[in-house]
């Protein structure tokens, strides 16, 4: 379809675009163009500048430099409404829908149909909403609320909402991160339709197979600059990875010989009604225990309840032979069981504080005598962890929000390494993180296990789960359905087990 | 000026302002004051300014805890001030010391309630403390039949000693000025050197992250409101001593004035940023400004307009700065 690509017009062109954050040049005189009706993948490690570049496009900054053309016209994208008016639509990982109100109202927000100039025209609203839903192949009652529909359906509603403003360029930032394989297929069908209608799609993703399936061209960014733009059929996945990383990567998962000791975590019949039921498992010193499952299988819910962050209806938890008497996070922490949150932005990091303040936030108690806090350890500890995890930051006192996603994730892990846990529950420790950072995080996890900690690893990234785990328990629909030893672990076997099929 | 230039100069302004800039503003006001009146830069006038802002300073030091921990403002501070004063006066027959202890405890009782409800149940701090202020006004008017409570000021009684508190001096320094400075020093040390202070910063930066870090968020919030109530009670006792009577409306206006001092002192309403020295600067600047305006002949109402306008400008500058850093969530 794009064989005679030269005849296809340019939908978007950025010339010499730069954006500076305090201390870093996040986007460095980038020239980028996307054609009408193409799916243009934008790839790069976290911190390469993709997100910032797209935020510029979305009108999030009024102080970028360089020029942007939509079609032939030069435009200034200094506010989100300006960007929208010029036909730029954005779909982020996090949805922008209001959960307690109906699909129709979400879709038509800001332009709800009225009669007599004031009253809501309910019939017209439902009709228009249905029409928008049709465009993404969504067959739902538009008067249902977002709370009532599933995550992938909400994502389609989000797309329908953005399409409602008739964009000519649609940016999708990791749209598949929370979708099951089936839903991804459906999403790709819709992307192809949009493309046929002449909409330009800029597709940001870390998933190589997805990019090779859906994209027409791919642009690779590194360190704020564009490395290259290629038609997808002229590159191979290893070539792309090499351009992203800047060096060839060889062995990803290190082979290790786990030194497994006695059981330190033993849980029996954990139940939180409606979330998970009768979950029992154990974890041993020096062991990495993987928890596999599809989205919605109840893994995160189980982990949060186990650590005392969420309620628990019944069940017992034993840490190092001692049963936890109280169900609270502070009790779990006293026993050395820590939980690394799956969402670093909302409840993992203190985004407005510095790297140092984040790193030492979990060990305040330890450095307090009679209520007086001593900060003497802070610099040494932070420097040590920065070196250990290879965190790229201008200084220990830089705001953690100025770091790239991968480095933020390392800070989050560093905070828990500083706390010196007995049991560390890791929930998606490398979600949305680039390859180099991921390798570093994996190395740190292995080191923790080798030092005698028990690791409970929840991950949707199958290579990661299979590569790191010594043993895997599988959850499905809130139940723990099977356990797999190291010798039986492969991506295929775990995937089958997650889907409830005998492996 | 191109938009880009304007943007950078504005952000530079914001950056300078953040780092001790409030003292620069204070210095500029000092210089400006000398042009306004020859009597401005006399030790007597400067001491007057300090004396005049002391009550505000004590209340603002407490308010800073609430703002710092991400709870914006405690609007019940005026009622805490009035209540602690009334209780102290009412308890004077028991002796001066018991009266003061009871007065402060009464104020802290309100603080405890605020802190408990906001910390444990995540109530909106502004609305909750506004409701408490409303309730307390009704309660005080009802209990004391809408009248003022007078201490017995016969010489030699506890009442006379109570009235004297505001008028005491230590050497050349009025007691209240000394108390304010000591309060600020103590509060600064508490915020920077104690576990409570560090945890307040973390809670103010992100309650959700503080929770998963293992911080007892409800307890920290409770203590922040207690600190605010403690300071407000002290201020309330001085205010009552100054007025020689206790009544429900004493303390009126100290809610907004304290938040203004806190915010122009560089603490952001979104929490976790700023420090006590800045708040002290903010208090001094408000005092200097009021003094200069009085010299020029601007009346109280017009002064309120100026204070309000400054508050709006500073909050706007903070907001601009946060957006500039791409931190819309702040």
Write the pLDDT tens digit of every residue in A299-341. 999 999 999 999 999 999 999 989 998 888 989 998 999 999 8
Residue tagged 């797209």 (tokens): A54
Q: Which of residues 39-78 of B touch A (CB under 8 A)?
A: none
**B271/B279 Cα distance (integer angstroms):** 14
Write a three-state SS string for A308-341.
CCCCCCEEEEEECCEECCCCCHHHHHHCCEEEEC
Q: B183 to chain A, minimum CA–CA distance in Å?
A: 18
Residue B220: pLDDT band with limits 50, 70, 90 = very high
Helix (H, G, I), strand (E, B) or coil at A17: strand
| Total-model pTM | 0.76
Mean pLDDT of B117-121: 96
Is residue B329 situated within a structural domain? no
The verdict on A490 touching B (C-beta cutoff 8 Å) is no
Output the pLDDT for position B317.
82
Q: Looking at residue B17, what is its pLDDT?
A: 59
Give the range among A343-347, A457-461, B37-41, B307-311 with minimum mean pLDDT: A343-347
Average pLDDT, chain B: 89
Interface of A with B in 34-73 (CB under 8 A): 55, 60-63, 65
Quickly count: other Cβ atoms within 10 Å of residue B284's Cβ: 22
The answer to the question of residue B186 being in a domain is yes
Q: Which residues contact A226 (CB under 8 A, 6 or more apart)?
A: A30, A31, A32, A219, A220
Of A338, A350, A368, the CB nearest to B209: A350
Which domains occur in chain A, in start order?
5-245 (3.40.50.300), 263-348+421-498 (3.40.50.300)
End-to-end CA distance of chain B: 29
Residue B61, in any domain of the structure: yes
pLDDT at position A22 is 63
Whether A93 contacts A174, CB under 8 Å: yes
Say yes or no: A349 contacts chain B, CB-CB below 8 A: yes
Domain assignment of residue B330, yes or no: no
Above 90 in pLDDT, residue B329? Answer: no
Q: Are A410 and A441 in contact (CB under 8 A)?
A: yes
Instruction: For chain A, list residues with pLDDT below 50.
Output: 1-7, 248-250, 503
pLDDT at residue number A268: 94
Residue B117 parent element (H or E): helix B96-121
Instruction: Say whether residue A415 is in contact with chain B using an 8 A CB cutoff.
Output: yes
- What does the pLDDT read at residue B58? 97
- Does B161 map to a domain? yes
Q: Which positions in chain B touch A350 (Cβ < 8 Å)? A: 202, 205-206, 209-210, 272
| A364 interfaces chain B, CB cutoff of 8 Å | yes
- The pLDDT, as a whole number, for residue B18 is 59
What pLDDT does A3 receive?
41
CB B236 within 8 A of CB B144: no
| Number of domains within chain B | 1
What span, in angstroms and rounded, lies between the C-alpha atoms of A411 and A391? 7
Would the CB atoms of B195 and A372 count as touching at under 8 Å? Answer: yes
Q: Mind telling me how many Å the CA of A146 is from chain B's nearest CA?
A: 23
Give per-residue pLDDT as tens, B233-274: 999 999 999 999 999 999 999 999 999 999 998 888 888 888
A interface test, pick of B191, B198, B199, B214 with most A CB neighbours within 10 Å: B214
Q: Do A346 and B208 touch (CB under 8 A)?
A: yes
Is the pLDDT score of B140 beyond 80?
Answer: yes
Return all residues near B95 (Cβ < 8 A) that are at least 6 apart: B158
Burial of B243 (0-12, 13-18, 19+ CB in 10 A): middle
Residue of A nearest to B195 (CA): A373
User: Looking at A343-347, B26-30, B117-121, which range is the least confident one?
Assistant: A343-347
DSSP three-state, residue B171: coil
For chain B, count helices (H), then strands (E). 14, 2
Size of interface A-B (CB pairs under 8 A): 94
Cross-chain CB nearest to A364 (options B195, B209, B212): B195
| Residue B39 structure tokens | 């009597």
pLDDT of residue A13: 93
Per-residue pLDDT tens over the stretch B177-192: 999 999 999 999 999 9
Indicate whether B265 belongs to any domain.
Answer: yes
**Residue numbers of the domain that contains B41:** 3-324
**Residue B244 counted as domain residue:** yes
Q: How far is B56 from chain A (nearest CA, A)?
A: 28
Using a CB-CB cut-off of 8 Å, the residues of chain A touching B193 are 372-373
Q: What is the pLDDT of residues A333-368, one digit of tens each?
A: 989 999 998 888 888 899 889 999 999 999 998 899
Q: Tell me the ipTM for this assembly.
A: 0.84
> Has residue B315 been placed in a domain?
yes
Q: Count of CB atoms within 10 A of residue A65's CB?
A: 13
């Amino acid at each position: 379809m794009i064989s005679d690509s030269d005849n296809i017009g340019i939908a978007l062109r950025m010339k010499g675009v730069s954006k500076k954050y305090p201390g870093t040049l996040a986007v460095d005189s980038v020239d980028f163009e996307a054609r009408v009706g193409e799916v243009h993948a934008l790839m790069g490690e976290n911190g390469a500048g993709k997100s910032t570049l797209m935020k510029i496009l979305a009108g999030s900054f009024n102080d970028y430099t360089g020029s942007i053309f939509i079609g032939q016209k030069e435009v200034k994208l200094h506010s989100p409404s300006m960007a929208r008016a010029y036909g730029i639509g954005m779909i982020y990982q996090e949805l922008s829908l209001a959960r307690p109100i109906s699909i129709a109202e979400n879709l038509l927000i800001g332009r709800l149909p009225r009669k007599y100039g004031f009253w809501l025209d309910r019939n017209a609203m439902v009709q228009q909403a249905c029409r928008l839903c049709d465009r993404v192949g969504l067959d739902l009652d538009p008067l249902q609320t977002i709370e009532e529909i599933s995550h992938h359906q909400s994502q389609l509603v989000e797309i329908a909402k953005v399409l409602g403003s008739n964009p000519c360029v649609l940016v999708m930032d990791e749209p598949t991160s929370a979708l099951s394989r089936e839903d991804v297929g459906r999403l790709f069908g819709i992307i192809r339709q949009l493309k046929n209608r002449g909409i330009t799609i800029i597709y940001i993703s870390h998933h190589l197979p997805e990019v090779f399936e859906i994209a027409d061209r791919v642009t690779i960014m590194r360190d704020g600059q564009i490395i290259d733009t290629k038609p997808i059929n002229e590159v191979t996945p290893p070539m792309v990875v090499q351009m992203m990383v800047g060096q060839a990567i060889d062995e990803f998962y290190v082979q290790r010989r786990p030194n497994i000791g006695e059981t330190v975590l033993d849980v029996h019949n954990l139940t939180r009604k409606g979330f998970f039921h009768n979950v029992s498992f154990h974890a041993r010193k020096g062991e990495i225990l993987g928890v596999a499952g599809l989205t919605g299988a109840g893994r995160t819910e189980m982990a949060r309840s186990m650590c005392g962050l969420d309620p628990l209806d019944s069940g017992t938890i034993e840490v190092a032979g001692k049963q936890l008497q109280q169900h609270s996070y502070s009790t779990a922490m006293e026993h050395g069981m820590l939980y690394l949150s799956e969402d670093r932005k909302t409840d993992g990091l203190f985004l407005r504080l510095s790297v140092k303040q984040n790193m030492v936030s979990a060990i305040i108690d330890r450095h307090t005598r009679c209520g007086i806090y001593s900060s003497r350890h802070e610099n040494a500890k932070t420097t040590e962890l920065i070196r250990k995890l290879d965190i790229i930051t201008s200084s220990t006192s830089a705001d953690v929000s100025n770091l790239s996603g991968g480095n933020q994730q390392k800070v989050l892990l560093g905070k828990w390494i500083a706390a010196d846990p007995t049991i560390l529950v890791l929930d998606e420790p490398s979600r949305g993180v680039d390859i180099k950072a991921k390798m570093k995080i994996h190395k740190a996890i292995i080191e923790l296990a080798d030092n005698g900690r028990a690791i409970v690893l929840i991950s949707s990234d199958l290579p990661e789960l299979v590569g790191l785990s010594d043993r895997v328990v599988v959850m499905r629909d809130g139940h723990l359905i099977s356990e797999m030893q190291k010798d039986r672990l492969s991506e295929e076997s775990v995937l089958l087990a997650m889907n409830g099929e005998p492996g | 000026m191109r938009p880009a230039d304007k943007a950078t100069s504005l952000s530079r302004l914001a950056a300078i302002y953040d780092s001790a800039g409030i003292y620069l503003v204070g210095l500029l006001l000092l210089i400006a004051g000398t042009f306004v009146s020859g009597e401005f830069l006399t030790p007597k006038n400067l001491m007057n300014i300090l004396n005049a802002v002391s009550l505000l300073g004590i209340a603002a030091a407490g308010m800073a805890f609430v703002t710092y921990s991400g709870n914006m403002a405690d609007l019940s501070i005026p009622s805490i001030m009035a209540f602690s004063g009334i209780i102290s006066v009412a308890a004077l027959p028991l002796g001066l010391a018991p009266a003061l202890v009871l007065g402060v405890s009464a104020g802290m009782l309100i603080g405890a309630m605020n802190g408990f409800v906001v910390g444990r149940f995540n109530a909106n701090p502004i609305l909750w403390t506004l409701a408490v202020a409303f309730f307390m006004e009704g309660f005080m008017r009802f209990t004391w039949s809408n009248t003022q409570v007078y201490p017995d000021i016969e010489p030699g009684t506890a009442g006379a000693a109570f009235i004297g508190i505001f008028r005491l001096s230590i050497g050349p320094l009025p007691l209240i000025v000394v108390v304010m400075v000591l309060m600020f020093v103590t509060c600064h040390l508490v915020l920077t050197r104690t576990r409570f202070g560090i945890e307040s910063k973390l809670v103010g930066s992100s309650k959700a992250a503080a929770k998963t870090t293992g911080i007892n968020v409800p307890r920290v919030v409770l203590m922040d409101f207690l600190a605010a109530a403690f300071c407000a009670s002290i201020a309330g006792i001085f205010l009552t001593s100054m007025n020689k009577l206790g009544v429900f409306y004493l303390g009126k206006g100290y809610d907004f004035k304290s938040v203004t001092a806190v915010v122009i002192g560089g603490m952001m309403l979104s929490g976790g940023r700023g420090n006590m020295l800045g708040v002290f600067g903010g208090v001094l600047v408000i005092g200097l400004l009021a003094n200069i305006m009085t010299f020029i002949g601007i009346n109280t109402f017009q002064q309120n307009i100026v204070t309000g306008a400054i508050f709006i400008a500073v909050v706007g500058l903070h907001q601009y700065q946060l957006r500039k850093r791409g931190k819309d969530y702040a």
